[in-house]
Structure 1
Amino acid sequence: MEAFDFAAVVQAFPYLMQGLMFSLKLTAFSFVAGIVLGTGLALVRHLDVPVLAPLAAGYIALMRSIPLIMVLFWFFFLIPLLLQWVTGAARPTPIGPVYTAFITFAMFEAAYYAEIIRAGLNSIPKGQYEACRALALPMSRTYGLVILPQALRAISPILLTQTIILFQDTALVYVLSITDLLGAASKLAQRDSRLVEMYLAVAVIYLVICVAASQLVAYIRKRNAQAALA
């Protein structure tokens, strides 16, 4: 530790923050897009929509069975070839690492969010559905105004826990040479030969953010439990 250079960490901090901003943007986009797509998948399975329900189940099983890093590689290398075949272009159509990261993460997380949301839908008492039918509410209003809000409130701690895992997984975009938090630290570490300082700084940043988010999850879970007892 005598050779540990705190000044190197201080100097690198602005660049690390730029990488952190990319990681947070990727997390936020994947969370929103994953929730939207995951809700659709969950509803299709929950309502057992003909044809679509087996397709949704297959998609979820596929995404949950393959490591995220493989999905990143498949999308980055195979989709351009597929687009070339579909469009008849002379060369593969490049997508780029950034678009690959955003699209892949959203699609991958949607499978996990879908199962969480479906569990929330299944946890709603049948009396809620019967009350909506008694009031002659259409299905769109039944789920949009009654069922989904209750389900999302009940599963909010699990959704946030999955989002913490999502934030940690954003480090995988390093393999696409994207300057996320880990990528920024790696470039600085190699340039300045300060591997210990840079990687320790990244570990501390991840630790602070994840611990703070975990405390938020614990608070929401406690508040939900108190609301259930009230």
Structure 2
Amino acid sequence: MPPELDVIWRNLDYLLWGRMAQGEPGGLLLSVLIALASGVLALVGGIALAVLAWFSSGLLRRVLFVWADLIRGIPLIFVIFWVYFLVPALFGGAIPGTVSVILALAWFSAAAVMYSTLSGLEALSGGQREAALSTGLSEMQTLFVVLLPQALVNLVPSYVSLFASLIKDTSLAFIVNVPELTMVASQVNNRTQLYPTTIFLFTAALYFVLCGGLSLLVRKIMRRPVAASWD
């Protein structure tokens, strides 16, 4: 085996799942776990904020949009630093690096989920809301029974694309020493000091295969017929 490939083979398990045998997941596995955890939190939080904005008006609605615009206008690396350093300073006690990255990614992505969900709701025909209200449903029931399920189905491609972005964004976790894929690739490179190009090309290939697979999934979902509306 060529030495360039041998260095990958000898460190493949470490690149894929870190020290999982010792109960410390790392590498690609940890990147996926971080993306999953932050994605679930962002999805729940973003949809909840979208529902709040849907029923709100005036000052509260403006505050929600200002918050979302502020978060989306700040580099993600700053958000990670804030969570990692400021939260312990404000509330006392240390936060594990992995937890701080999950919270930062969820906080950052929830704003995008809120905007996407609101756009999905507003894209639905206004006649559906009127028809639902005319049957005796309340505003709350209309949203959760009629409008939101349709919007969520239509937004599945957007949410999957967001998850692909989260996987790539986990690479920023190295700044707080979280042993995700980019960090363990750097550690392997520091140990060998021989084939950095091979190591990081392989790392990029892992990101590409995973995110490319999700992109294919999005395209497949988008080719499926959209569920019929109430119109």
- Residue 87 of structure 1: aligned partner: none
Relative to structure 1, the CA distance from residue 114 to residue 226 in structure 2 (aligned partners, 3 Å threshold; closer, same or farther) is closer
User: Residues 125-165 of structure 1, C-alpha deviation per residue, up to 9 Å, x if partnerless?
Assistant: 11111121112123333222211110011122122112211
Deviation at 1:58, TM superposition (A): 2.2
- SS of match in other structure, 1:81: helix
User: Residues 196-215 of structure 1, C-alpha deviation per residue, up to 9 Å, x if partnerless?
Assistant: 22211111111111111111
Structural mapping, 1:29-68, within 5 Å: 29-49=37-57, 51-68=59-76
Q: Check conservation: 2:154, 2:226, Cα contact below 8 A.
A: no
Deviation at 1:7, TM superposition (A): 1.2
Relative to structure 1, the CA distance from residue 226 to residue 58 in structure 2 (aligned partners, 3 Å threshold; closer, same or farther) is closer
TM-score for the superposition, normalised by structure 2? 0.88
**Matched residue pairs, number?**
219
Distance 2:186 2:11 in 1: 11
Structural mapping, 1:90-109, within 5 Å: 93-109=93-109
Deviation at 1:54, TM superposition (A): 2.6
Amino acid at match of 1:215: L
Deviates more, 1:130-139 or 1:119-128: 130-139
Distance 1:27 1:226 in 2: 29
Structural mapping, 1:7-26, within 5 Å: 7-18=6-17, 19-26=27-34
1:80 aligns with 2:95: no
Q: Check conservation: 1:23, 1:180, Cα contact below 8 A.
A: yes
Distance 1:125 1:227 in 2: 12
Distance 2:146 2:226 in 1: 20
Distance 2:180 2:61 in 1: 36
Structural mapping, 1:119-158, within 5 Å: 119-158=119-158
Deviation at 1:25, TM superposition (A): 0.8
Distance 1:217 1:226 in 2: 16
Distance 1:69 1:98 in 2: 14
Distance 1:131 1:5 in 2: 65
- Residue 182 of structure 2: aligned partner: 182
Question: Kindly, what percent of the aligned residue pairs are identical?
Answer: 29
User: Residues 64-111 of structure 1, C-alpha deviation per residue, up to 9 Å, x if partnerless?
Assistant: 010000111111112222124xxxxxxxx2112111111111111101
Amino acid at match of 1:31: G
Distance 1:144 1:209 in 2: 33
- SS of match in other structure, 1:205: helix
- Residue 5 of structure 1: aligned partner: 4
TM-score for the superposition, normalised by structure 1? 0.88
- Residue 171 of structure 2: aligned partner: 171
- SS of match in other structure, 2:145: helix
Q: Check conservation: 1:60, 1:111, Cα contact below 8 A.
A: yes
Task: List alignment gaps of at least 5 residues for structure 1.
Answer: 85-92
Amino acid at match of 2:206: I
Deviation at 1:49, TM superposition (A): 4.5
Q: Check conservation: 1:30, 1:102, Cα contact below 8 A.
A: yes
